[in-house]
Amino acid sequence: MPLLVMKFGGTSVADLARIENAAQKVRAEVARGYDVIVIVSAMSGKTNELVGWVETTSKLYDAREYDAVVASGENVTAGLMALRLQEMDVPARSWQGWQVPINTTSAHGSARFLSIPRDHIDAKFSEGFRVAVVAGFQGISTEGRITTLGRGGSDTTAVAFAAAFGAERCDIYTDVDGIYTTDPRITGKARKLDRIAFEEMLELASLGAKVLQTRSVELAMRYKVRLRVLSSFEDTDETSGTLVCDEEEIVESKAVSGVAYSRDEAKMTLLDVADRPGVASAIFGPLADAGVNVDMIVQNISENLAGHSGATTDMTFSVPVNQVDRARKAMEDARAAGIVSYDDLVIDTDVAKVSVVGIGMRSQVGVAARMFAALAAENVNIKVIATSEIKISVLIDRKYMELAVQALHDAFELEKA
């Protein structure tokens, strides 16, 4: 039988009525002749609640126990979805990650897939079951402990199953009807895209557009999974939503295709670090060892500043705001151990990152100038800039984030097709 993967996010399984609504969509595909692997998230808000409980209990928590707690949300929805389908006379069985087993690395909190053996689920399909409901976001490490894949990880579970089982398509059902030029919650002018290139979606996701987890797009690109985002609250058919596809399948060629933002950034600056070989490695080594995700990095030349000797520099970098404590501790420990020396550590937790993304940037000049002009016109001060071939990101005060997204959406005329 042809096979589909259908993933339902948190708002799509937020309560029993929504689970029933999602189950009806699954039943419709079964009626069309598909076997279906359903990937479910936890009920919306559940994972946040679980994370909150962990953080309240232990500030610098043991990541193994974090995973043991936060993976549980998906277990509930997987079982409920299977029960609801059974009530609709659809033969269904649920699976937690360890039962499949979804084998992952032991990087707790951000584990990666190692393998997804098909035999157990295939055996159930051959017994006549039509739906396998799998708890998203979780797996089992080589040490036999529960792991999770990072926030939004159910998307990645879905794509990985689509790849492992050769699904015809991987449909991501969510609370918006597709992928937009920017988060439709930030501006009513956001426009739904029919298609978006893998590479653009990869950048948008990694720069904060949480409609898809970055790793899910990476996997879809690598394994050529037909990946689609669509609404779980509307009637949908094969043409609904937004298809994430190869660049060649896209006709639109604007310099910028989308604007992304990330609210939860923090800027850390080490003042007066020695300006000599090995210093960057002495700083970012301990941060990496502490599991801190460093994003933008700027090394300021401070030799001309009053009061500085010339032999030192300032190092600024951004980290997710919830990793600030971890990062600060890593730096203080490294200083105490004589690995790095710095005068002071300045932390700004009121920043956000705003980025423009587009494959058209490769061939069009002036994108940065247009971006900075749009921000200047709104009096938004830029703190850090980072660029790559198809994106430009800036770090700004968080209070200007929405204004900046709207200004950039207007400046690049994204509301127009």
Contact call for residue 210 and ligand ASP (CB under 6 A): no
- Binds ligand ASP (CB under 6 A): choice among 18, 35, 38, 73: 73
- What would the x/- binding string for ligand ASP be over residues 37 to 66, using CB under 6 A? ----xx----x-------------------
Euclidean distance between CA atoms 45 and 49, whole angstroms:
6
- Binds Mg ion (CB under 5 A): choice among 136, 139, 152, 286: 152
At its nearest, how many Å lie between ligand ADP and the CB of residue 175? 5
Sign, CA torsion 393/41/216/189: negative
- Tell me the residue ranges of DSSP E strands in 51-184: 92-95, 103-104, 113-115, 131-135, 138-140, 146-148, 169-174
Euclidean distance between CA atoms 402 and 400, whole angstroms:
6
Contact call for residue 71 and ligand ADP (CB under 6 A): no
At its nearest, how many Å lie between ligand ASP and the CB of residue 73? 6
At its nearest, how many Å lie between ligand ASP and the CB of residue 4? 19
Supply 325's token pair. Answer: 């404590």
Tell me the sheet residues that pair with 262: 353
- Binds ligand ADP (CB under 6 A): choice among 65, 168, 175, 218: 175
Euclidean distance between CA atoms 298 and 280, whole angstroms:
11
Contact call for residue 136 and Mg ion (CB under 5 A): no
> Per CB under 6 A, which region of 147-155, 174-182, 296-304, 338-346 contacts ligand ASP?
147-155
Euclidean distance between CA atoms 39 and 139, whole angstroms:
13
Sign, CA torsion 394/399/403/406: positive
> Per CB under 6 A, which region of 30-38, 146-154, 161-169, 194-202 contacts ligand ASP?
146-154
Size of the site for ligand ASP (CB under 6 A): 13
CA 409 to chain centre: 21
Contact 19, 81 (CB under 8 A): yes
- Residue 197 contact among Mg ion, ligand ADP, ligand ASP, none, beta carbon within 5 to 8 Å by kind: none
Contact call for residue 358 and ligand ASP (CB under 6 A): no
Length of the chain, in residues: 417
- What would the x/- binding string for ligand ADP be over residues 264 to 303, using CB under 6 A? ----------------------------------------
- Burial class from Cβ neighbours inside 10 Å (0-12, 13-18, 19+) for residue 339 reads middle
Distances (CA, A) of 129 to 35, 86, 132, 134: 8, 10, 8, 14
Tell me how many degrees the CA angle 101-106-111 measures, rounded to the nearest 5.
Answer: 75
Contact call for residue 9 and ligand ASP (CB under 6 A): yes
Residues in contact with ligand ASP by the rule CB under 6 A: 9-10, 41-42, 47, 73, 136-137, 151-155
Residues in contact with ligand ADP by the rule CB under 6 A: 9-12, 41, 152, 174-176, 179-180, 182-185, 209-211, 258
